[in-house]
């Protein structure tokens, strides 16, 4: 009897053990699955030109957005919900812009940060308004985008404000009277608008736009010929409304000709690429832009430190704008009540920026101070006051 | 325990093998790229050596660069800058670049001032839109700058046996992607510095380990390209990396479950077909051992071997039963025969007694008559044993109590003592004694009681005779006591009388010891060992 009991008991124990193990397994799975149920993330989209020859400045903007999202998530997210950033590359193509925003919309984003180029923002305008999807651009400034009560917001001052200040600076500080202009029509919405506003302000002050030269940056361009044409009418200054690389290449041509003509650049050129590719002549370039201080005690200075630590490169203004966009959007999402649309939150509140408290006007344009900048010792610096006593 | 040990050993061995495999791939990719970069470095140094040795002018420099770019296509372009950063020569020739100033390029300043080869951070070439790295070699009079398209890195990665389930990722020192399965990420200069694996690699912590990469559990093997401080990461989804291990563990798990289930089924069938029949067989053997050969339990449905064993046992039991019956029959026949012998001996002795009794009646002489009388008593004593033997269940032993009571009754019934008053006191245990000791003992009792009665009545008419018999260990103790007058003990020991002589001879025959003493009567005590 003892042996029989032994065999039966063994089988019985084995069966019980299997059952217990199965039970433990099921309980462990349930426990793990319950542990994995974390807060639903808030999806934010980013759209910008990340590839191609002109893609580098937008990658800096994207990096700024990423850094801000990382900081917000590290601080506990937005009301405990982490930010999930969805990045799309519009390749600088106007037809691609609404497509990538559609992908964001289908993914269920709360808002889109982008586009980084005015032409792309303009191309996406109809889509975001039709779908009432808030779009906050860090860098778009074309007037075409302003003056509309819609779902498009921008952190950057409008072209009219920027170009008017640049025109005033050129006329009053640099004493320019005859300016030749080079315009990249690949981003016509922005560049032509900038030129027209500059021209209006400059001519109003008494200056003269002696020639206008248009090109498309995606073509195979000969900057030697372009430079020759630009100086053909003997201007005392140049206005280059183009991206940083092209502005740098124009500066190189001026350097080669050993000229001493100041260049008014657009804020589209205010990137590190301009300094690295432009050679010594970048110190002859002046740009109406934003942000004044790089001091460490200033939030912008702190941001630069953080960005450099995170991406091991200098951020430039694009990175700061990207960071600020995400930071302001997060503040708005924090403030948003259940019945409020995000647009109303942005319009009805003020937000902490790097250097100033920011508000948006009824058309979604951030109200912020504009400063003139140039390059000294490989860095963008505020020129207000510095040009006093210079040859300009 | 054995299975668990096998699982643990398998786990260790397969993990080691997978780790080694991926680390070899990462190291070989790293080595290939290092080799490529060293080739670039060699070519660059060769150009700088050529230009140092011969400075015949810009045409010579231009020709040298054109030849190099044609022969060594790794270079997308080559530029010679003077000490101010001004482009003196460029290949392929680009008139707009000649005379431009590159002094703000970080690599120019470092190479020119430090007089050492400098690899730039990677960047998207403003001329080709492709991912590019610049290398600057110090030379006379300024710096040689080469631009290298990094599409070649992907080609190297694919060449270096990165299988379909593995991903090769290379980042620059900033964490920007240089090689990735998704080419869009490279074009977009996606930065993955934040990932644990890249950060560790760029910090010099290389090795193979499991980690989380962009939400996936992966096995990563890392290596660092020291020339440019690029991170090489070979990733494999943990699931894919340990697919073999997992399938083996699953197989083992299924085997354990199946063997468990099989054990239960086997236990069930064993109980019905093995365990229960064996216990029935055990029950049957127990009955056989107890002498019960008839009520044999059927083993039921079982295996052939157990059936065979059961049948043999049954056959053995029936054989034993048959032989036992034969033996009993033979024994019974023998008993009957022995009883018949005893009966006939008793009848014959009875015949002798009848004859002697007839003769006794015809005798006149008292002495002769007494002798005859004693002999009749002795023969009766022997006959009585045979009578008891054939009427008792045992043919070898008689009940001594019954025998002595019968013997004393006989003695008291004798004619010559009819006028006397005899008070027998018998204290006899129920003891079985074999014929070899019973007959001598009966005769001794007869002789001693006869003697007591014969001589006791000489002095008194009321004789008291006590007879005691009991077992003392392995011995039998017989005691006879009377209230007669004493006699000379020498008479008893010298055995001069027939009666005493018979007593001594018979005591000797049963290997006993008899003592006589007088203590308010004659007392005889006989002690012998029971056979």
A266 to chain B, any CB pair closer than 8 A? The answer is: no
Pair type for strands A42-48 and A111-114: parallel
Cα separation, B386 vs A200, whole angstroms: 166
State the average pLDDT over residues B497-517.
91
For residue B126, the chain A residues in CB contact (below 8 A) are 53, 245, 249, 273, 277
The average confidence (pLDDT) of chain B is 85
pLDDT at site A37: 46
Do residues B272 and B266 lie in contact, with contact meaning Cβ atoms separated by under 8 Å?
A: no
Residue A86: strand, helix, or coil: strand
pLDDT at site A387: 38
Distance separating the N- and C-terminal Cα atoms of chain A = 113
Enumerate the β-bridge partners of residue A381.
Answer: A374
Segment B139-189, tens digit of pLDDT: 877 899 999 888 777 777 666 655 667 888 888 888 888 888 888 888 788
For residue A55, the chain B residues in CB contact (below 8 A) are 124, 129, 187-189
Cα separation, B306 vs A322, whole angstroms: 88
Do residues B118 and B111 lie in contact, with contact meaning Cβ atoms separated by under 8 Å?
A: yes
pLDDT at site B428: 93
pLDDT at site B388: 86
Instruction: Work out the minimum CA distance from B66 to partner chain A, whole angstroms.
Output: 21
In the block, residue with structure tokens 């090769």: B168
A6 to chain B, any CB pair closer than 8 A? The answer is: no
Q: CA angle, A329 as apex, A326 and A330 as ends, to 5°?
A: 85
Nearest residue, CB atoms, B174 vs list A11, A52, A313: A313
Segment A247-277, tens digit of pLDDT: 999 999 999 998 889 999 998 898 888 998 8
Segment B269-321, tens digit of pLDDT: 777 788 888 888 888 888 888 888 877 777 777 888 888 888 888 888 888 88
pLDDT at residue A8 is higher than 70: no
Identify the residue with better confidence: B419 or A177. A177
Q: Look up residue B342 and give its two tokens.
A: 């005893």
A147 to chain B, any CB pair closer than 8 A? The answer is: no
Distance (Å) of CA A84 to CA A265, A286, A337, B202, B214 = 36, 38, 20, 26, 12
A334 to chain B, any CB pair closer than 8 A? The answer is: no
Identify the residue with better confidence: A338 or A212. A212
Tell if the pTM clears 0.80, that is, is over it: no
State the average pLDDT over residues B499-504.
89
Cα separation, A212 vs A203, whole angstroms: 14
Contact A15 B105 (CB under 8 A): no
A14 to chain B, any CB pair closer than 8 A? The answer is: yes
Segment A346-371, tens digit of pLDDT: 999 999 888 888 999 999 999 888 98
Nearest residue, CB atoms, A8 vs list B106, B267, B279: B267
pLDDT at site A4: 45
A20 to chain B, any CB pair closer than 8 A? The answer is: no
Contact A311 B126 (CB under 8 A): no
Nearest residue, CB atoms, B123 vs list A18, A56, A282: A56
A83-89: strand order across its sheet: A83-89, A42-48, A111-114, A134-137, A152-154
Contact B264 A253 (CB under 8 A): no
For residue B270, the chain A residues in CB contact (below 8 A) are 7
CB atoms within 10 A of CB B63: 13
Segment A65-99, tens digit of pLDDT: 999 999 999 999 998 999 999 999 998 888 899 99
pLDDT at site B125: 79
The average confidence (pLDDT) of chain A is 86
For residue B188, the chain A residues in CB contact (below 8 A) are 50-51, 55, 59, 62, 87, 89
For residue A255, the chain B residues in CB contact (below 8 A) are 99-101
Who contacts B238 (Cβ-Cβ below 8 Å, separation ≥6)?
B210, B216, B217, B218, B219
State the average pLDDT over residues A200-225.
93
Segment B25-76, tens digit of pLDDT: 888 888 888 888 888 889 998 888 877 655 557 777 888 888 888 888 888 8
pLDDT at residue A2 is higher than 50: no
Segment B63-120, tens digit of pLDDT: 888 888 888 888 888 998 988 899 988 988 888 888 889 888 888 888 888 888 888 8
Residue B107: closest CA among chain A residues belongs to which residue? A276
Identify the residue with better confidence: B8 or A173. A173
For residue B125, the chain A residues in CB contact (below 8 A) are 53
For residue A281, the chain B residues in CB contact (below 8 A) are 101
For residue A32, the chain B residues in CB contact (below 8 A) are none
Sign of CA dihedral B483, B485, B488, B491: negative
Residue B265: closest CA among chain A residues belongs to which residue? A11
Q: Of all residues in chain A, what percent carry a pLDDT higher than 70?
A: 88
pLDDT at residue B252 is higher than 90: no
Instruction: Work out the minimum CA distance from A361 to partner chain B, whole angstroms.
Output: 33
Instruction: Work out the minimum CA distance from B153 to partner chain A, whole angstroms.
Output: 19
Highest mean pLDDT among A284-288, B213-217, B491-495: A284-288
Nearest residue, CB atoms, A378 vs list B99, B104, B189: B104
Residue B174: closest CA among chain A residues belongs to which residue? A312
Highest mean pLDDT among A279-288, B55-64, B242-251: A279-288
Highest mean pLDDT among A185-189, B164-168, B349-353: B349-353
At CB < 8 Å, which residues of chain B contact A? 85, 95-96, 99-106, 121, 123-127, 129, 173-175, 184, 187-191, 193-194, 257, 260, 263-264, 267-268, 270-271, 275-276, 279
Cα separation, B439 vs B436, whole angstroms: 6
CB pairs under 8 A between A and B: 113
Q: Of all residues in chain A, what percent carry a pLDDT higher than 90?
A: 55
Residue B280: closest CA among chain A residues belongs to which residue? A1
Count, residues in chain A: 392
DSSP string of B88-155? EEEES--TTTTT-B-TTSHHHHHHHHH-S-EEPPPEE-TTT-SEEEEEEEE-SSSEEEEEEETHHHHH
pLDDT at residue B199 is higher than 80: yes
Segment B355-379, tens digit of pLDDT: 988 888 888 888 888 888 888 888 9
């Amino acid at each position: 009897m003892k042996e029989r009991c032994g065999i039966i008991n063994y089988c019985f124990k084995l069966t019980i053990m299997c059952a217990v193990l199965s039970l433990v397994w099921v309980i462990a799975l349930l426990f793990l699955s319950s542990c994995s149920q974390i807060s639903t993330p808030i999806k934010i989209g980013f759209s910008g030109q990340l590839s191609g020859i002109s893609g580098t400045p937008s990658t800096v903007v994207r990096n700024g957005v990423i850094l801000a999202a990382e900081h917000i998530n590290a601080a506990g997210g937005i009301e405990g919900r982490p930010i999930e950033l969805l990045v799309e590359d519009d390749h600088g193509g106007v037809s691609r812009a609404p497509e990538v925003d559609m992908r964001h919309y289908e993914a269920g984003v709360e808002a889109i940060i982008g586009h980084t180029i005015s032409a792309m923002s303009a191309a996406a305008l109809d889509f975001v308004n039709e779908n009432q999807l808030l779009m906050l651009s860090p860098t778009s400034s074309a007037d075409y985008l302003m003056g509309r009560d819609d779902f498009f917001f921008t952190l950057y001052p409008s072209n009219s404000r920027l170009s008017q200040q640049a025109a005033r600076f050129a006329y009053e500080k640099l004493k320019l009277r005859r300016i030749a202009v080079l315009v990249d029509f690949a981003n016509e919405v922005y560049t032509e608008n900038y030129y027209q506003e500059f021209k209006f302000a400059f001519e109003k002050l008494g200056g003269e736009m002696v020639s206008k030269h248009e090109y498309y940056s995606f073509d195979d361009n000969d900057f030697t010929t372009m430079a020759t044409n630009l100086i053909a009418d003997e201007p005392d200054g140049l206005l280059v409304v183009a991206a940083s690389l092209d502005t740098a290449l124009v500066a190189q041509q001026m350097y080669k000709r050993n000229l001493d003509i100041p260049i008014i650049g657009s804020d589209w050129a205010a990137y590190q690429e301009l300094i690295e590719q432009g050679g010594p002549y970048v110190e002859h370039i002046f740009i109406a832009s934003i942000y004044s201080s790089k001091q460490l005690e200033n939030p912008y200075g702190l941001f630069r430190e953080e960005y450099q630590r995170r991406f091991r490169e200098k951020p430039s203004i694009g990175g700061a704008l990207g960071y600020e966009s995400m930071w302001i959007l997060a503040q708005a999402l924090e403030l948003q009540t259940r019945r409020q649309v995000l647009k109303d939150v942005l319009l009805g509140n003020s937000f902490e920026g790097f250097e100033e408290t920011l508000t948006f006007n009824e058309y979604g344009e951030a109200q912020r101070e504009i400063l003139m900048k140039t390059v000294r010792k490989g860095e963008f610096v505020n020129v207000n006051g510095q040009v006093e006593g210079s040859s300009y | 325990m054995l299975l668990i040990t096998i699982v643990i050993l398998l786990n260790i061995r397969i993990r080691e093998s997978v780790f080694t495999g991926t680390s070899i791939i990462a190291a070989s990719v790293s080595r290939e790229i290092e080799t490529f970069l060293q080739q670039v470095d060699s070519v660059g140094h060769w150009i700088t050596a050529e230009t140092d040795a011969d400075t015949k002018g810009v045409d010579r420099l231009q020709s040298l660069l054109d030849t190099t770019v044609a022969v060594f296509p790794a270079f997308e372009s080559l530029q010679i800058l003077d000490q101010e950063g001004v482009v003196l020569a460029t290949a392929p020739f680009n008139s707009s670049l000649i005379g431009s100033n590159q002094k703000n390029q970080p690599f120019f300043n470092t190479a020119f001032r430090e007089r050492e080869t400098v690899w730039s951070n990677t960047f998207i070439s403003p001329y080709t839109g492709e991912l590019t790295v610049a290398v600057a070699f110090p030379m006379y009079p300024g710096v040689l700058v080469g631009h290298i398209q990094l599409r070649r890195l992907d080609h190297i990665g694919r060449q270096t046996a990165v299988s379909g389930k593995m991903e090769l990722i290379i980042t620059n020192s900033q964490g920007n992607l240089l090689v990735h399965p998704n080419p869009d990420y490279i074009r977009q200069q996606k930065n993955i510095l934040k990932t644990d694996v890249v950060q560790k690699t760029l910090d010099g912590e290389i090795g193979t380990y499991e980690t989380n990469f962009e939400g996936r559990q992966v096995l990563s093997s890392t290596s660092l390209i020291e020339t440019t401080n690029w991170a090489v990461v070979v990733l494999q989804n943990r699931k894919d990396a340990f697919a073999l291990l997992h399938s083996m563990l699953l197989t083992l798990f299924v085997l354990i479950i199946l063997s468990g289930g099989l054990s239960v089924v086997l236990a069930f069938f064993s109980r019905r077909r093995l365990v229960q029949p064996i216990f029935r067989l055990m029950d049957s053997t127990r009955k056989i051992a107890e002498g019960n050969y008839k009520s044999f339990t059927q083993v039921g449905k079982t295996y052939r071997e157990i059936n065979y064993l059961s049948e043999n046992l049954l056959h053995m039991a029936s054989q034993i039963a048959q032989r036992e019956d034969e033996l009993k029959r033979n024994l019974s026949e023998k008993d009957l025969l022995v009883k018949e012998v005893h009966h006939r001996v008793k009848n014959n002795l009875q015949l002798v007694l009848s004859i002697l009794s007839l003769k006794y009646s015809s005798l006149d002489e008292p002495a002769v008559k007494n002798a005859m009388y004693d002999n009749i008593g002795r023969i009766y004593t022997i006959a009585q044993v045979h009578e008891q033997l054939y009427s008792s269940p045992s043919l070898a032993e008689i009940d001594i109590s019954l025998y002595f009571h019968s013997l004393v009754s006989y003695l008291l019934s004798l004619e010559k003592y009819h006028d006397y008053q005899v008070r027998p006191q018998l204290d006899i245990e129920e003891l079985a004694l074999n014929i070899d000791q019973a007959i001598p003992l009966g005769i001794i009792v007869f002789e001693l009681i006869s003697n007591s009665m014969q001589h006791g009545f000489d002095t008194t008419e009321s004789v008291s005779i006590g007879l005691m018999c009991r077992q003392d260990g392995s011995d039998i103790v017989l005691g006879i006591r009377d209230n007669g007058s004493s006699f000379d003990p020498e008479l008893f020991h010298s055995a001069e009388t027939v009666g005493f002589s018979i007593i001594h001879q018979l005591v000797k025959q049963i290997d006993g010891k008899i003592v006589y003493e007088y203590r308010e009567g004659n007392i005889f005590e006989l002690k012998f060992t029971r056979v």
